[in-house]
A and B are shown apart, each in its own frame.
Chain A
Amino acid sequence: MTLSVRIRHRQGDFLLDAAFESAGRLTALFGPSGSGKTSLINMIGGLVRPGSGRIEADGRLLVDTDARIFVPKHRRRIGYVFQDARLFPHMSVAQNLGYGRFFTPGAERYADFSGVVDLLGIGHLLTRKPASLSGGEKQRVAIGRALIASPKLILMDEPLASLDEARKAEIMPYIERLRDETKIPIVYVSHSVGEVARLATDVVVLSAGKVKASGPAADILARFDILPEEQRSEAGAMVDLTVAGQEEGFGLTVLHSAGGEWRLPRIDAPAGAKIRARVRARDVMLSLERPTGISALNVLPATIAAISMDGEPDALVSLDCGGDRLAARITRRSVEMLGLADGGEVFAVIKAVTFDRGSVGGPSRLANDLSTL
């Protein structure tokens, strides 16, 4: 499915002037608050009528102000998971889940109620009322409610923003399963690099109402110039890894990437499983020679692709590890001392223990048949 959006919309002093296209399974609209992300998906969902523009999803024209086309939200078949769940308080969980199904034409009902309930692990909540659910449970029910309506596209507006870290960790795997086990494309609004890195296949970066960059997640997240200042330290590169086996005695998992062998804190996945992980730039050290007698477990030969002197004491070194992209944040002093330059050969050193476990995405399988839903 391709989503194509071109919008010009004025809201008071704020001008949203954005255009992007995406065919990704999970497209993240990423940017700081006030950058226009929510306005943008509200227009895709039909909750807001754009001043002018055109929105097309899966070859279906939803909005075209020139042709005076505006498909109302109840005819778009676009599921929406709101930040604040918005479950209907007077209905039970089961009634909430079944609500959209009633309005879906019979022939287009592909979602299977019990399949979705299993996928989200909400079977034990069915008779409860929304008021008695925890924040995480509410959000899972909200996702289920959108899914059971058999949408052609799902929009998620910061579905994790109102949850604490533990609840976020509880929901993330479900969103990953949704991304990997169903064919429904997702547009996901977020201001968190961690979430985007873990979940997105494609990223659209918004800033002050404009699209700053868009493209595959791995490409976009490797660029540091587009990250908001306060999240620069979270910046990192995405690495695709394959599980090779477990080192039981040490609680480690051995993985392979194009660049070499990795040892990371235990990841529960069978051998052969594909994993995507984010390696933060600040956790990567550089060495001119292969270090010996060092505690760090991961040492990978790399070529310097670029050096950017973006911060006062810092420099950011982009690396090519046999096809994998990595980045290292080191001081400018070190760049000078080591005489680093584009094309130079170095070794990247990554400590296993500093590894950001939250960034390890689940097995990123290819979209299966819809029957798994």
Chain B
Amino acid sequence: MEWLHLSPDEWNAVRLSIKVSTWATVVALPFGIAIAYALARREFWGKALLNGIVHLPLILPPVVTGYLLLITFGRRGPVGSLLDQYFGIVFSFRWTGAALACGVMAFPLMVRAIRLSIEAVDKKLEAAAGTLGANPLWVFATITLPLILPGIIAGMILSFAKAMGEFGATITFVSNIPGETQTLPSAIYTFTQVPGGDLGALRLTLVSIVIAMAALVASEVLARRVSRRLDIEG
């Protein structure tokens, strides 16, 4: 079973992928909830446009998304240069850029899952909370949020899984630098490009499968715990 041992570079790719996906998911979450809420509950000018932009990464070729990120968030891009100048945040060729690319690619999946769960919440319950003195913010925090928790968990798991597998946009935006931007898919891709890399590719593929399964099981356990707490079925 010697062939199963990962080299330090391979371990780096695994750790980096988990870090990038976790950040992508966690940072995207508040935006995801806010946009899902706006799309599910509010009527405003440009709603169709916002909906389109959010879903764009789902239908565009990932390379196109990556390239768009490169020209806007690159060091000389309009947004990237501002962030660098005022906040010292640099995306290009950094792991943060990989996280941004993964976050953008996974965002539509997260928004969809949360939006569906918000649409399933009975607005009458929120109205009832209002008559009891809760202002809209409190209603959201004490009624809506707890009731959409299963949807949020589903959205986070989907988003995490998508981020783990993201390849096209990441490699276009931040390239494939071992230890900095080389995530699992990029590492697997690299192995397949060199002679004798099959074993390494297989090892990392197995690792990908294990992580994906673990995420799935974790989501099942969490969802069950939440629904038991909600006890809506009972």
Contact = CB atoms under 8 A, between A and B. Distances in A.
Interface residues of A, number: 29
A132 B124 contact: no
Contacts of A74: 130-136, 138-139
Contacts, number: 77
Nearest to B143: A88
Given A129-B234, A131-B233, A90 B146 contact: yes
A348 interface: no
B129 A99 contact: yes
B131 A46 contact: yes
A145 B125 CA distance: 13
B132 A86 contact: no
Nearest to B122: A86
Contacts of B233: 131
Contact of A132 (B125, B130, B143, B234): B234
B127 A47 contact: yes
Interface in B176-234: 229-234
Interface in A110-162: 129, 131-132, 145-146, 149
A73 interface: yes
A82 interface: yes
A45 B129 CA distance: 12
A72 to B, nearest CB: 8
Contacts of B230: 89-90
A77 interface: yes
A80 interface: yes
Contact of B147 (A75, A84, A90, A132): A90
B128 interface: yes
B133 A100 contact: yes
A73 B127 contact: yes
Interface in A70-113: 72-80, 82, 84, 86, 88-90, 99-100, 102-104
Interface in A35-92: 45-47, 72-80, 82, 84, 86, 88-90
Contacts of B135: 72, 74
A-B interface, 6 closest residue pairs, ranked by CB to CB distance from nearest: A103-B133, A100-B132, A80-B131, A86-B128, A73-B130, A129-B231
30 contacts: A46-B131, A74-B131, A74-B135, A74-B136, A79-B132, A80-B128, A80-B131, A82-B124, A82-B128, A84-B124, A86-B124, A88-B143, A89-B231, A89-B232, A90-B147, A90-B229, A90-B231, A90-B232, A99-B129, A99-B132, A100-B132, A100-B134, A103-B132, A103-B138, A104-B133, A129-B234, A131-B231, A132-B231, A149-B132, A149-B133
